[in-house]
């Protein structure tokens, strides 16, 4: 077991405007576990593959409280032997700070939300993706970046951030088997997102930093047509669509395809999107 003597600044601990702490908090929300017992006892633990132990050492360096890293080897569903590294932190003051920022005690996968204080957004998202996401190339050779999460708030936040950055839109929906969200970006949006999140010198898992850097090498083949940017629906268009009530006639009035109008009309009528406000 490797003990760690604290050397970080207590006054800045978990200041989420500091990129390293924003990243660390995102990682802890996704892959950490906060437990508590009687008489204010408790523990924060993070268990990851031993190949990524370097990131736990960085967390130790950033934490001004005593903590330790240990290893264990066991059999899993995926391998006969798997060695993991475990970072443990017991200090009540540290646990209280993390809990106040939005790291719940106990089961947390659906409860976590982006911080409600000012924070470094791309560093926070990189932490979440390093813990619960993937970066690389698909079997077809397309660059991709993805996140698997049970949290609606985190999923929506990633989609909003990526839309503002790249223009790519996603409507998230839990899958039927696991009741979780699988959010995937490919090709140019994935390249742009990876470039933004995994900037030079950032704190990250080394293997995912390398994978993100490798995405920059992809070039769209000349014979691969790029999908046109999506045209977002506006309230006045929703009003016209509802007034017509039929996709074909609304399509002619709005300059959209009947398929687009049919889908939007269904979403409005089924309550999947809000109805437009009345004109003033």
Nearest 5°: phi and psi at 67? -150, 170
For residue range 29-70, what is the model confidence (pLDDT) as tens digits? 999 999 988 888 999 999 999 999 999 999 999 999 999 999
**pLDDT exceeds 80 at position 208:** yes
Q: Give the whole-angstrom CA distance, residue 217 versus residue 166.
A: 18
DSSP H or E segment with residue 32: strand 32-36
Q: Give the residue range(s) of CATH 3.10.28.10 domains in the chain.
A: 2-108, 126-217
* Fold (CATH) for 126-217: Endonuclease I-creI (3.10.28)
**3-class DSSP state of 68:** strand
**3-class DSSP state of 33:** strand
**CATH, domain 2-108, list 1.10.1740.10, 3.40.50.1950, 3.10.28.10, 3.40.190.10:** 3.10.28.10
User: Structure pTM?
Assistant: 0.80
For residue range 217-245, what is the model confidence (pLDDT) as tens digits? 999 988 887 766 677 899 999 999 999 99
């Amino acid at each position: 077991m490797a003990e760690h003597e604290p050397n970080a600044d207590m006054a800045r601990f978990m200041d989420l405007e500091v990129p390293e702490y924003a990243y660390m908090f995102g990682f802890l929300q996704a892959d950490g576990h906060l437990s508590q017992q009687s008489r204010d006892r408790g523990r924060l633990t993070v268990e990851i593959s031993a190949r990524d132990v370097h990131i736990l050492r960085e967390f130790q360096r950033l934490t001004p409280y005593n903590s330790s890293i240990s290893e264990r080897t066991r059999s899993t569903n995926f391998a006969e032997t798997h060695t993991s590294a475990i970072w443990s932190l017991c200090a009540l003051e540290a646990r209280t700070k993390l809990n106040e920022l939005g790291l719940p005690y106990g089961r947390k996968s659906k409860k976590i939300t982006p911080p409600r204080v000012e924070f470094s957004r791309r560093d926070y998202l990189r932490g979440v993706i390093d813990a619960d996401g993937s970066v690389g190339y698909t079997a077809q050779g397309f660059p991709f970046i993805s996140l698997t999460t049970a949290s609606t708030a985190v999923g929506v936040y990633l989609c909003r951030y990526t839309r503002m950055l790249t223009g790519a839109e996603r409507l998230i929906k839990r899958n039927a088997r696991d009741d979780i969200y699988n959010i995937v970006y490919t090709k140019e949006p994935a390249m742009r997102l990876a470039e933004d999140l995994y900037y030079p010198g950032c704190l990250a898992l080394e293997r995912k930093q390398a994978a993100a850097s490798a995405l920059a090498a992809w070039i769209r083949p000349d014979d691969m047509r790029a999908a046109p940017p999506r045209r977002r629906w506006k309230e006045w268009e929703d009003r016209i669509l509802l007034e017509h009530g039929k996709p074909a006639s609304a399509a002619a009035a709005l300059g959209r395809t009947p398929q687009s109008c049919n889908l939007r009309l269904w979403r409005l009528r089924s309550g999947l999107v809000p109805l437009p406000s009345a004109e003033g």
